[in-house]
């Protein structure tokens, strides 16, 4: 008598069944991500970013230039309002204040840059227009950026280590708002819960990304032409590994992120 015919047979469970919505559309479930059902090898993430930079370097450099111009507005406000004789506390207040003034400009641009990074990591070809894709979501993106900013400042003010931890653990807040549509506080909490599972590996990854940037800068600055796009795309691979992406993830990428999945 088979188990199907035996009423006394123990219940069977398909332990290999993937979580609902995990990779069927390229998007990993938030529960899986927060449970730590992912892993990264920092050096491999860097390598993937380096290999994917060819053909899109100019696009990313233009995006970096535009973001730099927007960020420069903050520095200009400091210079006009504070001058060179501003004390430490006044200078800090001006820095925070000017940053808040330009936040509606810089935060959506950062969200657009994340979209470019994720698109390239997913095997697509990003465009400069992607940089402006999330101005339609300006309110939640700015609120999310403000939450991260305040939490990080408080962390650094109390003790340095909490500030470092929060700046890393909350680093995926913006793309979670922009690409997954999470509410700002939910995105902040989700990023922390997910990255906390493998925080040491994430810390090493960001450390290596910093080393790549410094190495490019030390090469007379010319090295940034290669290093900056590579580091940015590596960040896109990192996001995909943790949370996936719903928009046209290629079969080869899906297979790399989840070896148990077959072609769609």
Q: Is 71 a member of any domain?
A: yes
Residue 177 has pLDDT above 90, yes or no: yes
* pLDDT score for 22: 31
State the Rg of the chain over Cα.
21
- CA–CA gap between residue 31 and residue 19 (Å, rounded): 9
Q: Is position 162 within any domain?
A: yes
pLDDT at 116 > cutoff 90: yes
For residue 15, is it within any domain?
no
* Residue 155 domain-assigned (yes or no): yes
**Number of domain units in the chain:** 1
The answer to whether residue 7 is domain-embedded is: no
Say which residues have a Cβ less than 8 Å from residue 50's Cβ, sequence separation at least 6.
Answer: 226, 230, 234
Domain that holds residue 46: 38-242
Could you tell me if residue 56 is inside a domain? yes
């535009």: which residue's tokens?
Answer: 66
Decide if 92 is inside a domain.
yes
**Structural domain contains residue 75:** yes
Average pLDDT, the chain: 82
The mean pLDDT of 65-83, rounded to a whole number, is 72
Calculate mean pLDDT across residues 41-66: 96
Question: Under a CB-based contact definition with an 8 Å cutoff, are residues 238 and 40 in contact?
Answer: yes
The pair of three-digit structure tokens given for residue 210, joined into one six-digit string: 């910093």
Predicted TM-score (pTM) of this structure: 0.80
């Amino acid at each position: 008598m088979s188990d199907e015919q035996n009423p006394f047979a123990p219940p069977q469970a398909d332990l290999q069944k993937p979580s609902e919505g995990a990779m069927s559309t390229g998007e990993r479930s938030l529960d899986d991500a927060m449970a730590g059902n992912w892993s990264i090898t920092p050096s491999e993430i860097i390598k993937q970013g380096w290999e994917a930079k060819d053909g899109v370097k100019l696009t990313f450099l233009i995006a970096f230039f535009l973001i730099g111009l927007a960020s420069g507005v903050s520095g200009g406000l400091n210079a006009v309002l504070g001058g060179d004789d501003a004390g430490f506390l006044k200078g800090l207040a001006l820095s925070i204040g000017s940053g808040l003034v330009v936040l509606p400009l810089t935060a959506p641009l950062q969200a657009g840059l994340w979209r470019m990074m994720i698109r390239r990591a997913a095997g697509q070809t990003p465009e400069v227009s992607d940089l402006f894709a999330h101005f339609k979501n300006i309110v939640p993106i700015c609120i999310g950026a403000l939450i991260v900013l305040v939490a990080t400042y408080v962390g650094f003010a109390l003790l340095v280590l909490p500030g470092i931890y929060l700046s890393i653990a909350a680093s995926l807040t913006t793309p979670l708002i922009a690409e997954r549509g999470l509410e700002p506080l939910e995105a902040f909490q989700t990023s922390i819960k997910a990255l906390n599972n493998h925080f040491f590996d994430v810390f090493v990854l960001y450390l290596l990304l910093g080393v790549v940037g410094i190495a490019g800068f030390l090469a007379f600055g010319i090295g940034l032409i290669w290093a900056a796009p590579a580091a940015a795309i590596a960040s896109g691979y990192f996001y995909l590994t943790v949370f996936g992406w719903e928009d046209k993830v290629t079969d080869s990428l899906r297979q790399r992120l989840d070896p148990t999945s077959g072609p769609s």
